[in-house]
């Protein structure tokens, strides 16, 4: 009898404790109606209207599909990108982007979409949207849709390289074997023209690289502090020559269309 009373008392106490626990959860839910959603890596593709060099180039048909579609589809096929977003001020670009699978949660304000607006401004605006939406993102792949040529696994390989080396930011680059000069009024060579090196004689340490602009990867936390896509510990990710093009003219448009139309050209992976 005594054991029975003890058991009933034990069950009653634990039932009260459980009710208090559940009640505490309900109160927490009431005061925090939306929990934070965490994503490891997302892609952001800025694409405003009003291009000058090539009219409406972001949605101009190239090799059978809108220019921006090539970047969206590459990002969507990545195993390491959780979600693909497009930031644009144009309803038509937004509609086409959604058709190819990207998320377009808003139209970017015109005040940060004119010729004076920087890409960093678009990124800051987008991060503000994520904060208001209770979404936490560790890293961002910033993709330039005017560079449509990329190998199928390019983003996954670059993200892995970024993570393995614990970089804060990563820049896509290509090797440069050109001899540059600057200042037309007072010409100055950017190399030693008295000892012009042959391409095969240039050592690895003396190789030059240029930003392709194709994509960048960075920690969102470090970006917030430094307000720049190139921040903290920087890494260079070398891409092959056929991925270096940034369409800003009809000539570059034709070159990229030719590469995209040739399946073998797009498959090239190694730099």
| Contact partners, residue 189, CB within 8 Å, separation at least 6 | 179, 180, 181
Whole-number Å distance between alpha carbons of 57 and 48: 10
For residues 162 and 217, state if they share a domain. Answer: yes
pLDDT at position 77:
96
Q: Residues 119, 246: one domain? A: yes
> Across residues 46-70, what is the average pLDDT?
90
Query: Do 54 and 158 sit in the same domain of this protein?
Result: yes
The reply to whether 46 and 29 lie within a common domain is no
* pLDDT in the model for residue 203: 66
- Contact criterion met (CB below 8 Å) for 42 and 135: no
Q: Is 29 exposed, middle or buried (0-12, 13-18, 19+ CB in 10 A)?
A: exposed
DSSP-derived secondary structure for 220-271: HHHHHHH-SSS-SSEEEEE--GGG-----SHHHHHHHHHHHHSHHHHH----
Q: Across 83-92, 169-178, 187-196, 254-263, which has the greatest mean pLDDT?
A: 83-92
Q: Which of 13-22, 49-58, 257-266 has the lowest mean pLDDT?
A: 13-22
The most confident of 23-37, 60-74, 103-117, by mean pLDDT? 60-74
Higher-scoring residue by pLDDT: 123, 53 = 123
The per-residue pLDDT for 149 is 96
Is 48 among the catalytic positions?
no
pLDDT at site 31: 45
**Distance (Å, rounded) from C-alpha 101 to C-alpha 70?**
11
Give the chain's mean pLDDT: 84
Query: What is the per-residue pLDDT for 220?
Result: 96
Report residue 59's pLDDT band, with 50, 70 and 90 as the boundaries: very high
Say yes or no: 221 and 261 in one domain.
yes
Q: The domain that contains 250 carries what CATH number? A: 3.90.550.10
Maximum pairwise Cα distance, the chain: 106
Residue 50 binned pLDDT confidence (cut-offs 50, 70, 90): confident
Percentage of the chain modeled with pLDDT above 90:
63
Please, what is the Cα angle at 266 between 100 and 91, to 5 degrees?
25
| Chain center to CA of 198 | 36
In a shared domain, residues 77 and 19: no
138 and 179, same domain (yes or no):
yes
Q: Do residue 25 and residue 59 come from a single domain? A: no
Q: Mark whether 72 and 85 lie in a shared domain.
A: yes
Kindly provide the b/e burial profile for residues 234-270, where b requires at least 16 CB atoms within 10 angstroms of the residue's own CB: ebebebbebbbbebeeeebbeebbebbeeeeebebee
- Considering the domain architecture, whether residues 73 and 181 belong to the same structural domain is answered as yes
The answer to whether residues 18 and 45 belong to one domain is: no
CA atoms within a 13 Å half-sphere pointing along the CA-CB vector of 245? 19
Q: Is the pLDDT of residue 256 over 60?
A: yes
- Residue 197's contacts (CB-CB under 8 Å, 6 or more residues apart) are 191, 206
| Lowest mean pLDDT segment, chosen from 12-16, 36-40, 89-93, 125-129 | 12-16
**Domain of 12?**
1-33
pLDDT band of 191, cuts 50, 70, 90: confident
Do 10 and 117 share a domain, yes or no?
A: no
Number of domains in the chain: 2
Task: Judge whether residue 26 has pLDDT over 90.
Answer: no
Q: Sorting pLDDT into bands at 50, 70 and 90, what band is 113?
A: confident
Question: Percent of the chain at pLDDT above 70?
Answer: 81
Greatest mean pLDDT among 67-71, 173-177, 188-192 lies in 67-71
Find all residues with CB under 8 Å of 202, minimum gap 6, and list them: 177
Choice among 196, 198, 199, 229 that is catalytic: 196
């Amino acid at each position: 009898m005594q054991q029975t009373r003890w058991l009933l008392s034990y069950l009653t106490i634990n039932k009260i404790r459980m009710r208090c626990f559940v009640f505490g959860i309900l109160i927490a839910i009431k005061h925090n109606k939306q929990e934070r959603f965490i994503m490891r890596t997302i892609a952001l593709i800025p694409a405003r209207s009003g291009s000058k060099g090539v009219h409406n180039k972001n949605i101009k048909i190239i090799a059978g599909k809108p220019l921006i579609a090539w970047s969206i589809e590459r990002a969507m096929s990545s195993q390491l990108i959780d979600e693909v977003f497009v930031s644009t001020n144009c309803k038509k670009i937004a509609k086409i982007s959604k058709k190819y699978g990207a998320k377009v949660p808003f139209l970017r304000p015109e005040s940060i979409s004119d010729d004076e607006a920087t890409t960093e401004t678009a990124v800051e605006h987008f991060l503000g949207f994520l904060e208001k939406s209770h979404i936490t993102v560790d890293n961002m792949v910033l993709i330039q849709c005017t560079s449509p040529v990329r190998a199928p696994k390019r983003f996954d390989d670059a993200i892995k390289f970024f993570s393995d080396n614990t970089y804060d930011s990563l820049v896509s680059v290509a090797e440069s074997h050109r001899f540059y000069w600057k200042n037309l009024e007072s010409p100055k060579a950017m190399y030693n023209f008295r000892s012009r090196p042959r391409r095969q004689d240039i050592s690895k340490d003396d190789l030059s690289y240029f930003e392709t602009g194709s994509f960048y990867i960075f920690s969102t936390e470090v970006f917030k502090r430094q307000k720049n896509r190139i921040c903290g510990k920087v890494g260079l990710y070398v891409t092959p020559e056929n991925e270096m093009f940034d369409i800003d003219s009809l000539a570059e448009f034709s070159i990229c269309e030719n590469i995209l139309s040739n399946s073998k050209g797009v498959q090239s992976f190694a730099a």
